Chain A
Amino acid sequence: MNQKNNLIIGLIIAGVVFMSANVDADPRDFVEGLPNIGIMLQEITEVDSSLFVTAFWSMLETIQMAFIGTVVGVTIALPLSLLAARNLNNKFVYIPIRALLAAIRTFPSILWAILFVIIVGLGPFAGVLAIIMYTVGFIAKLQYEAIEAVDIDPMDAVSAIGVSKLQLIRFVVLPESASHLLSQILYIFDYNIRQTSILGLVGAGGIGFYIINYIKFFEYGKAAVFMLVVLVTVLIIDWVSVRIRDNYIIKSQRGMQVRV
């Protein structure tokens, strides 16, 4: 390692220290606060077990919201991604669509949720709409990139038959980019469940609504129970999507036989 690298690393560390002081992030507060975890854990044991049932149902609501948001979002994103792909359209089509998608992506889902709470009122519907918006912006971008990366040879060979653009999309573009799409859908569903868990913080339904309210009333044990349910759910979904990815995506992308 040379001196220049040392200098850069030194500057980065100095930056972190300086900025921590600026934003009042003091590690001593963390150490002093650690015993509070003990209080929280103790409170969990005192929580009525029927609360787990409530937590389970609110988690189910969260998953349903994420599921609807993912399915509808992907359905809207797919045609948009076809219009945004440079290898399928002229610039008068793809530039406006890309601008629209970029605008949608500028908002994180929680800001979309606030906007939809104002428009449609409190409750899960606002959360679903927020998830749809986020999914559209995210999936459409990843998918048009996948479409642009579709192998030129099949595109060329099938175009040379003189087929229509719609037929080219149906028989070349979609099958060739399908494994990417499946991979992205799995990722965004996983991500949407985590996102939906916090949308309740702004009143947009789901399990976050309970968490924020228990915290407001200093019922940390109860809040922790709900957080634990989120943790377990996310772990399960993560495990399932890894299995699906291994069986259906990785192998087909590498041209290996798929084990079903």
Chain B
Amino acid sequence: MSLSKSSKVKTLGKSSAIFTKTIVQMNDVSASYDSKNYVLKDIKMSIDRGTNYAIVGHSGSGKSTLLRLINGMMNPTSGKILVDYQTPNISDKKFKSFMHKIGYIPQNLGLIKNSTVLENILIGALPRVSGFNSFLKKFSDYEIDNAKKILKQVSLEDKADRKIYMLSGGEKRRVAIARALVQKPEIVLADEIVSELDHVTAREIMDVLAEAQATMKLTSIMVHHDLQLALEYADRVAVIKEGEKILEIGVEGGRIVDFQSGNYTQREILEMFTNESKE
């Protein structure tokens, strides 16, 4: 594997928007699940609106925690996070209304296995439905049309009435993406969405996301453990090692445009990930 390979990347999904505003800002953020062991240490990160941002690291490096800090499902132990100028916290009413605009695809996807594909993706529209109507599972014609349009976008239009447990791994991921897109999100967070998939299916899923990111002008923040994949699809790539951000790369047209790392050389970073894929 070498970085020059990434020059063959598809330009699809590389957002051409002019970045004016920061949507996610982290200043010296640390997080831990117990008081002793830190999962994340002093993370500094600034993500501009419309960026296709990738976070890469080995398993257990704290990548998933980073996403849960951004959508307010978890609070940092110290440091400050701003997402759309607010501190993320699920208990905060004002932030909760911004959560409607954050599509979150956890690693296990979190689909309702006994419900149909359409029912699952309409969950993304729930913030726009009144409590009474949602209890009756009653959605407006507009919402149903919109959901079907997005099903078409992820190539699942003929599977709307299938139950989740009847779908393949790739199809399930498309449903999870569609649920996030139905939210009309400003940010999409995806946690290792293509790990466990074969090479071809993984790229199909990445293409679906890249296309949505470009057409809907969203900010996507994706966690990967495959550096090569991240370099192919992202505008910026951050590498996390044992809870610390050790590197951030800007990628443009498949070429690395800036390389910010104090302690590691480009070669060392590559070796870190090449060794993993050999294991």
Where the two chains meet, the residues of A that have a C-beta atom closer than 8 Å to any C-beta of B are 153-164, 166-167, 170-172, 175-176, 178-179, 252, 255-257
**Cβ-closest chain A residue relative to B113:** A255
User: How far is the CB of A222 from the nearest CB of chain B, in Å?
Assistant: 49
B113 touches A162 (CB 8 A): no
Pairwise interchain contact B131-A162, C-beta atoms closer than 8 A: no
Interface centre among A161, A175, A178, by most chain B C-beta atoms within 10 angstroms, is A161
21 contacts between A and B (CB under 8 A): A153-B106, A153-B109, A156-B73, A157-B104, A158-B110, A160-B71, A160-B73, A160-B106, A161-B102, A161-B123, A161-B127, A162-B96, A162-B100, A167-B126, A167-B129, A167-B135, A171-B112, A171-B126, A171-B134, A172-B112, A252-B165
Interface residues of B in 78-133 (CB under 8 A from A): 90, 96-100, 102, 104-106, 108-115, 119, 123-124, 126-127, 129, 131
- Tell me if B166 counts as interface (CB < 8 A to partner A): yes
The 7 A-B pairs of least Cβ separation, nearest first, read A157-B110, A162-B99, A255-B165, A160-B104, A153-B108, A153-B110, A162-B96
- List B contacts of A157 (CB < 8 A): 104-106, 109-111, 176
A162-B127 contact given A156-B73, A167-B134, A170-B135, CB 8 Å threshold: yes
**In this assembly, does B51 line the interface, its C-beta being within 8 Å of a C-beta of chain A?**
no
Q: Do the beta carbons of A156 and B110 come within 8 Å of each other?
A: yes
CB contact under 8 A between A161 and B183, given known A167-B126, A170-B137, A175-B115: yes
- Nearest to B122 among chain A residues (CB) is A171
Instruction: Pick the residue among B106, B115, B134 that contacts A166 (CB under 8 A).
Output: B134
How far, in angstroms, from A238 to B237 measured CA to CA in the complex?
A: 61
Identify whether the interface residues of A are mostly helix, strand, loop, or mixed: helix
Q: Which of A155, A161, A171 contacts B104 (CB 8 A)?
A: A161
In the complex, the chain B residue whose C-beta lies closest to that of A179 is B114
Q: In the bound complex, what is the Cα–Cα distance between A156 and B71 (angstroms)?
A: 11
Given contacts A157-B176, A161-B99, 13 further A-B contacts (CB under 8 A): A154-B111, A157-B104, A157-B110, A158-B110, A161-B183, A162-B98, A170-B134, A170-B135, A171-B119, A172-B112, A175-B119, A178-B114, A256-B165
Interface SS, B side: mixed
* Chain B residues near A170 (CB-CB < 8 A): 134-135, 137
Specify the chain A residue showing the minimal Cβ separation from B100.
A162
Report the Cα distance A175→B99, complex, angstroms: 23
Contact indicator B134/A154 (Cβ below 8 Å): no
Shortest distance in angstroms between B212's beta carbon and chain A's nearest beta carbon? 17
Interchain CB contact (< 8 A) of A175 among B71, B114, B124: B114
Q: Are B126 and A160 in contact (CB under 8 A)?
A: no
A167 and B110 in contact, given A156-B73, A161-B124, A162-B97 (Cβ under 8 angstroms) = no
- Considering the chains assembled together, what is the distance between the CA atoms of A156 and B191 in angstroms? 13
Q: Is A161 in contact with B126, judged by CB distance below 8 angstroms? A: yes
Q: A160-B73, A161-B123, A162-B90 are in contact. Are A167 and B131 (CB under 8 A)?
A: yes
Give bound CA distance, A149 to B115, whole Å: 18
CB contacts (< 8 Å) of B114 on chain A: these are 175-176, 178-179, 252
Say whether, besides A153-B109, A153-B110, A154-B111, A160 and B102 are in contact (CB < 8 Å). Answer: yes
Contacts of B97 in A (CB 8 A): 162
Determine the distance from Cα of A257 to Cα of B162 in the docked complex, in whole angstroms.
Answer: 10
Note all chain A residues with C-beta closer than 8 A to B183.
161
Please give the distance in Å from B81's CB to the nearest CB on chain A.
15
How many Å lie between the Cα of A171 and that of B114 in the bound state? 11
What residues on B are CB-neighbors of A176 within 8 Å? 112-114
| B contact residues around A158 at 8 Å (CB) | 110, 123
Q: Which of A157, A171, A172, A256 has the most CB of B within 10 A?
A: A157
The minimal Cβ–Cβ distance linking A154 to chain B, given in whole angstroms, is 4
Which residue in chain A gives the minimum CB-CB distance to B134? A167
- Which B residues are in CB contact (< 8 Å) with A156? 73, 106, 110
B90 CB contacts on chain A under 8 angstroms: 159-160, 162
Residues of B within 8 A of A160 (CB): 71, 73, 90, 99, 102, 104, 106
CA of A255 to CA of B119 in the docked complex: distance in angstroms? 17
Restricting to B158-176, which residues have a CB under 8 Å from any CB of A?
A: 163, 165-166, 176
Instruction: Report B-chain residues with C-beta under 8 Å of the C-beta of A164.
Output: 131, 134
B residues in contact with A257, CB < 8 Å: 166
Q: Which residue of A lies closest to B97 (CB)?
A: A162
